[in-house]
Structure 1
Amino acid sequence: MTHFDVLVIGTGSGNSIINHRFDGLRVAIAEEDRFGGTCLNAGCIPTKMYVYPATRAEEAADSSAVNLSTSYGSADWPALRDRIFARIDAIEADGRAYRTERQENVTVFPEHVRFTGPHSLVTASGREITADRIVIAAGSAPVVPEIPGLDPARVDAPDSPFHTSRTIMRLDSQPESVLILGSGFISAEFGHIFSGLGTRTVVAIRGDRMLPGADAAIRDRFTAEFSARHDVRPGVEAASVRVLDDGRVEVAFRATGRVPGAEVPAPLVVERVLFATGRAPASAGLSPQAAGIDTRADGRIAVDEYLRVLADGAPVPGVFALGDISSPHQLKHVANHEARVVKANLVADLDAGAPGGAPASALTPVNHKGVPAAVFSSPQVAHVGMTEEEARAAGHDVVVGTRDYGGVAYGWAMEDTTGFVKVVADRSSRLLLGAHLMGPEASMIIQPLIQAIAFDQPADEVAKGQYWIHPALPEVVENALLDLDLR
């Protein structure tokens, strides 16, 4: 049995915790997959590197709205893929080499680990390890639905037509056709990527609208616009799959019952099937029950406000968790924030001496106020804070402001007819409660609204207390704030 002062499970945001402060300690890192986590290797970064050319391709395919005659031919998929992953794989390799070759006090276990007790684990190869302090940052994994005819072992396997985001971007050639199952942000982004680049793309959704959990106005308008640009089949799910002799997949459908009168498509034959049906915390494989660790109903590791892991409702001395495995927000920027919190609290715990010795007064609480997110699809979506429905349910005196992109000069320049900004505020406090945007560069122009929520800036002061560059696109944000009736 090998003992360490600190063990970090996972090399996404958790990998950023170990710095010079830990040079005098025996540190272990367990990573069974690629260094860098989902964001670097199969999530945020490579998808956006595909989204950008897909958006350029979509614009080139039809620029008649701005009096241009342009067209889109095809993508050099192998070159596109290699440009993206040459950069990403180099970062992954350098991160691994740094920990394994250039840090004498760090031991890397390139394999799966699971708990055998609160401070003890065993690796997949049978090696037993213990640690005084542990950071659980193992992230999440794609959810694959149970479908008759589908062997789960074939999903993401070499030469398989069944994929999650882990493998769909590393294909040797651009698929001629893709079926995407799911209605969330992963489905929306990959639907845009493949359709924009010229792949025949079908998106099957179980309900009547895309983007579950978004504000109702966003769901309605995004679904309408996305469906106008993409082949969306609402109210259905895969009833069975069958791999044909030529390697393609025949998919049969059935109604979910969630959309009255939903049209059930005839069986569809596609080259690839992408499961974009959500992600689940990768907690079960860690055997948290062997350590007595509490888990939430959805499988997340239970933590307190200081991100200390809980057992029977009390903190486990010296054990912390962060990111998708414990957080209510599956977002990289949230995981990065939580990593900073865990680092501060881990250092405080080390300074206290015995694991768990740091008093609450020495610890930093997590801050999940005003968590923003964006969907890099076509159209683009961004949001922060409460939906209108949530604000009303919480008892706020709700006031709403809405403005279309087409109502400002830059929107005229783009000939945009669908983009809009919706802001939700409390009339009595004048504070912004939420913001919901759809349209070009939504993820960028939302930033002043994120700041307003983060720092409790009254909505009318944000609108009137600063200059807004004319005729830049953020004027639509200004006008939405001015539309709020805060009298």
Structure 2
Amino acid sequence: MTHYDLLIIGTGSGNSIVDERFDCLRVAIAEAGLFGGTCLNVGCIPTKMFVHTADLAAAAADSSAFGIRTSFGGADWPAIRDRVFGRIDPIEAGGREYRTNRQPNVTVYPEHVRFTGPKSFTTASGTEFTADRVVLAAGSRAQIPALPGIDTDRVDTPGYPVMTNDTVMRMSALPETMTIVGGGFIAAEFAHVFSALGVDVTVLVRGEGLLTAADATVTERFTRAFSAHHRVHLGTQIRQAEVSADGVRLQLEASGRVPDSPVPDDITTDVVLLATGRVPNIDGLGLDAAGIDVVAGRVAVDDHQRVLSDGAPLPGVFALGDISSPHLLKHVANHEARIVQANLLADIAAGAPGAAPDSALETTNHRAVPAAVFSRPQVASVGATEDAVRASGAEYTVKIQEYADVAYGWALEDTTGFVKIIADRSTRQILGAHLMGDEASMIVQPLIQAMAFGLPADRMAREQYWIHPALPEAVENALLGLEFTD
């Protein structure tokens, strides 16, 4: 039976682990899908390339506030799509070719692999092997809810008009109509993309708002601003779907989550996009055979990214990214991959799986984890929500600064954007920051830095220059508006 020193399952952030320091080891890499994982192929990168195109289209369609007359004349969808994947697909192919053909110490299994024991494995085609050390980096996948009339086995298959983010960006042509099911960041981003490109989009949300995991101020104000540009039905769900050659007919009903919400008329749509979240790829890995702990649907790990079995580290087994992290974010997975890489090298240097002492291992830093939603408007956040801070019992101060009250906000003709900062009244430490509006994902960065390095809010505001009249003045003014104890 073939034996490896290291097995990595998944080629998203896990693919970055193996460098020249692993040249002396026999390495196996298992990837049943596309090299590069979710972010490269169906997530962060292609969606943001589409979002930028949508931003340009939306700006062209609505410029009267600036005293100029422009219009959106339509989208060349094949050109838009091919610009995106003409860059991404060669990267995927190049990564696969490099690992497969140009690293003699690496064996690629282009198929599903599962545990048959703590350190034994089998592939989907029946090849068996063993490995001393393992990295679980299998990521996550689109959650496909059970909806009456929709065949979950046919979702994302050619010709079936029900899709997820895995296939919707590669459509052969833009549909005339699209119904998006969901109210999170995936729904918000794709609604912006396709409506800006001329598709008649309807968004069905079971709850009472969009982005409900965000700070309450963001949820309320984003829902209002987003609904001004998109057709949104809150408190609504699908009662029955009828798929035919003409599209999908949806019979709708109240979800029961929004009192007195009206039930929209039935609709017929060319495409249904399921955007109801993501789930870790833990099923089918044979985790029970290895005795691996699963908590809240994720592989359980400690602060060194070691996989747990009965609450204790399983020697030589690590996990990272969406399969084990509550933060389904590429930048978190990248950080965790660096931690796993360092700890793998320490483990190897110690001479046996699990032999490295805790003192020799690096610890994951999940402080000040930021996130952004690239929709219209854009949203960014870091740290705790106001509800969470209030529930903690902390004495806090909060300030909301409108974009409209700073000079660059005037230039933007912005009427909805804001910066919200929450800080501890006595320590002056920033506890959370929540932004909505143009370039929110950029201007949140100094707040992330302040939280990461413990810079008090009052020092941050006063002990540096803020370019006038740039948009970060909204951050400066929010900081200056916080009220601290003497």
- For the aligned pair, the TM-score class normalised by the smaller chain equals over 0.9
For 2:291, the equivalent position in structure 1 comes to 292
Residue 282 of structure 1 deviates from its aligned partner by 0.3
Which range moves more in the overlay, 5-14 or 115-124? 115-124
Q: Which residue type is aligned with residue 291 of structure 1? A: A
For 1:354, the equivalent position in structure 2 comes to 352
Identify the match of residue 458 of structure 1 among 456, 463, 477.
456
Query: Following superposition of structure 1 onto structure 2, how do residues 401-412 of structure 1 map, counting pairs within 5 Å?
Result: 401-412=399-410
Q: Which residue type is aligned with residue 445 of structure 1? A: I
Residue 215 of structure 1 deviates from its aligned partner by 0.4
CA distance in 2, matches of 1:435, 1:329: 17
Residue 402 of structure 1 deviates from its aligned partner by 1.2
SS of residue in 2 equivalent to 1:342:
helix
For 1:282, the equivalent position in structure 2 comes to 281
For 1:256, the equivalent position in structure 2 comes to 255
CA deviation profile, 1:275-296 (whole Å, cap 9, x unmatched): 0000000001212111110001
SS of residue in 2 equivalent to 1:150:
coil
Residue 2 of structure 1 deviates from its aligned partner by 1.4
Query: Following superposition of structure 1 onto structure 2, how do residues 31-430 of structure 1 map, counting pairs within 5 Å?
Result: 31-246=31-246, 248-297=247-296, 299-430=297-428
SS of residue in 2 equivalent to 1:138:
coil
CA distance in 2, matches of 1:212, 1:97: 42
Residue 178 of structure 1 deviates from its aligned partner by 0.6
Q: Which residue type is aligned with residue 81 of structure 2? A: R
SS of residue in 2 equivalent to 1:284:
coil
CA deviation profile, 1:182-211 (whole Å, cap 9, x unmatched): 000000000100111110000000011000
CA distance in 1, matches of 2:241, 2:113: 33
> Does the 8 A contact of 2:150 with 2:243 survive in 1?
no
> Does the 8 A contact of 2:291 with 2:309 survive in 1?
yes
CA distance in 2, matches of 1:129, 1:303: 24
CA deviation profile, 1:421-451 (whole Å, cap 9, x unmatched): 0000000110000000000000000000000
Residue 467 of structure 1 deviates from its aligned partner by 0.3
For 2:447, the equivalent position in structure 1 comes to 449
CA distance in 2, matches of 1:473, 1:286: 47
Gaps of 5+ in 1: none
Residue 345 of structure 1 deviates from its aligned partner by 0.3
CA distance in 2, matches of 1:16, 1:8: 10
Q: Which residue type is aligned with residue 264 of structure 1? A: V
> Does the 8 A contact of 2:383 with 2:431 survive in 1?
yes
Residue 158 of structure 1 deviates from its aligned partner by 1.1
SS of residue in 2 equivalent to 1:135:
strand
Q: Which residue type is aligned with residue 20 of structure 1? A: E
Q: Which residue type is aligned with residue 361 of structure 2? A: L
> Does the 8 A contact of 2:431 with 2:451 survive in 1?
yes
Residue 245 of structure 1 deviates from its aligned partner by 3.1
CA distance in 1, matches of 2:15, 2:227: 40
Name segments (4+ residues, structure 1) moved above 4 Å: none
CA deviation profile, 1:79-116 (whole Å, cap 9, x unmatched): 11011001000000000000001000000000001111
For 2:431, the equivalent position in structure 1 comes to 433
Q: Which residue type is aligned with residue 49 of structure 1? A: M
TM-score, normalized by length of structure 1? Answer: 0.99
> Does the 8 A contact of 2:49 with 2:84 survive in 1?
yes
CA distance in 1, matches of 2:179, 2:15: 35
CA deviation profile, 1:141-176 (whole Å, cap 9, x unmatched): 111111111111110001110100000000011111
CA deviation profile, 1:23-47 (whole Å, cap 9, x unmatched): 0100000000000000000000000
Residue 73 of structure 1 deviates from its aligned partner by 1.0
- RMSD over equivalenced CA pairs, Å: 0.7
CA distance in 2, matches of 1:52, 1:176: 21
CA distance in 2, matches of 1:162, 1:195: 18
Q: Which residue type is aligned with residue 184 of structure 1? A: G
Pairs aligned (count): 485
CA deviation profile, 1:242-262 (whole Å, cap 9, x unmatched): 11233x111111111000111
SS of residue in 1 equivalent to 2:344:
helix
CA distance in 1, matches of 2:24, 2:423: 50
CA distance in 1, matches of 2:319, 2:124: 21
Q: Which residue type is aligned with residue 303 of structure 1? A: V
CA deviation profile, 1:311-360 (whole Å, cap 9, x unmatched): 10011000000000000100000000000000000000000001000000
Q: Percent identity, aligned pairs only?
A: 62
TM-score, normalized by length of structure 2? Answer: 0.99
CA distance in 1, matches of 2:331, 2:228: 31
For 1:10, the equivalent position in structure 2 comes to 10
Identify the match of residue 481 of structure 1 among 474, 479, 482.
479
CA distance in 2, matches of 1:15, 1:253: 43
